[in-house]
Amino acid sequence: MREYKVAILGATGAVGQEMMKILAERDFPVAELHLLASERSVGKEVTWKGRTLTVELACDAAFEGMDIVLGAAENDIAERFAPAIVKAGAVFVDNSSAFRLDPNVPLIVPEINPEDAKKHHGIISNPNCTTIVSLTAINALNAISPIESIVASSYQAVSGAGAGGPLELAAEVEALREGKTYEPKVFQYQIAYNVIPQIGGEAFEGYTSEEMKMQNEGRKILHLPELKVSCTCVRVPVVRSHSVSLVVRTKEKISVEQAKEAIAKAPGCRLVDDLKNRIYPMPLDTSDQDIVFVGRIRDDLTSDNGLNIWCCGDQVRKGAATNAVQIAELLIEK
């Protein structure tokens, strides 16, 4: 089997570290792995699959000879280095939002639209974490009858804000236990024992940038240009794994039984739905794994063709790092 030269841009961040872990877990055929980061991390040594790797400086020359670059950096870094990555002949699988809505850049969830990966011109985008979790949960319904609209409320874990999120939550809990104060740094308000109904800045008529991603990215991934989504994104004091409540309205009526049967068979999903026995998706059960758990499936009482659905998925893994590695696997399958 051919092996590939792989680089991780932003390797020292939470998603970059998870990418390293998942490359090893999935036994991706890596000939060389290069960890790229800013100057402050250069020289740091990391152990990976029994090898000692040294963090290198992210610069244009670092991409020469690479086959695949996994992006785990912010938009400005992705935009800065994308031309050099493409020029070097590598494929850039980018986790930032910099290129997601570019019509020339495929936006991929491998369980949903793997064929779109073939249309790349050197860059492939990884969708938003909440979008990935939600669409993986409901894609099987779209195969039965086109989805016309979604009303979504997300309950997003603090680790979605990076490695500092869980640290801040823990520090606040400890400070409150001791009767002390703690000045938030990662979040705009105290997150311990609280929920914050804003993720991202205002983007469109009172909706935040995070909330608009579900519609804008969903249209592209599902090939539903008229899809309408109304979304509210909320940060909650959960360490890991995002939860989403969805009202999905389809062109034709889909029964609860049909929905359960389809979702149970859908790739990347697990049906977890037994209300009488208190069995349903929860963040603790879905953390540190790659399957989206789906449950609480029931008829929507406000529309004839609607279903209520609750889903949970690990946003660091399936919502980011694992999805990127799965995209890389599509590339080498070709």
Q: What's the pLDDT score for residue 321?
A: 98
pLDDT digits (tens, 9 = 90+) for 104-140: 999 999 999 999 999 999 999 999 999 999 999 999 9
CB 316 within 8 A of CB 95: no
Reply yes or no on whether 311 is catalytic.
no
Catalytically annotated residue among 34, 120, 129, 233: 129
Are residues 45 and 187 located together in one domain of the fold? no
% of residues, the chain, pLDDT over 70: 100
Are residues 329 and 257 located together in one domain of the fold? no
Query: 334 falls in which pLDDT band (50, 70, 90)?
Result: low
pTM over 0.85: yes
- What mean pLDDT value characterizes the chain? 97
Are residues 278 and 147 located together in one domain of the fold? yes
Are residues 169 and 93 located together in one domain of the fold? no
Is pLDDT of 255 > 70? yes
Are residues 69 and 147 located together in one domain of the fold? no
Catalytically annotated residue among 120, 231, 233, 242: 242
CATH number of the domain residue 106 falls in: 3.40.50.720
Query: 291 falls in which pLDDT band (50, 70, 90)?
Result: very high
CB within 8 Å of 178: residues ≥ 6 apart = none
CB 267 within 8 A of CB 210: no
pLDDT digits (tens, 9 = 90+) for 50-93: 999 999 999 999 999 999 999 999 999 999 999 999 999 999 99
Reply yes or no on whether 129 is catalytic.
yes
Are residues 195 and 50 located together in one domain of the fold? no
Nearest CA-CA partner of 288 in 239, 334, 215: 239
If 0-12 CB within 10 Å is exposed, 13-18 middle and 19+ buried, where does residue 131 land?
A: buried
Domain count, the chain: 2
Are residues 198 and 250 located together in one domain of the fold? yes
> Exposure pattern of 229-251 as b/e (b: 16+ CB <10 Å)?
bebbbebbbbebbbbbbbbbbbe
Query: Which domain covers residue 79, as residue numbers?
Result: 4-127+320-333
Query: 1 falls in which pLDDT band (50, 70, 90)?
Result: confident
Count of other CB atoms within 10 angstroms of residue 1? 5
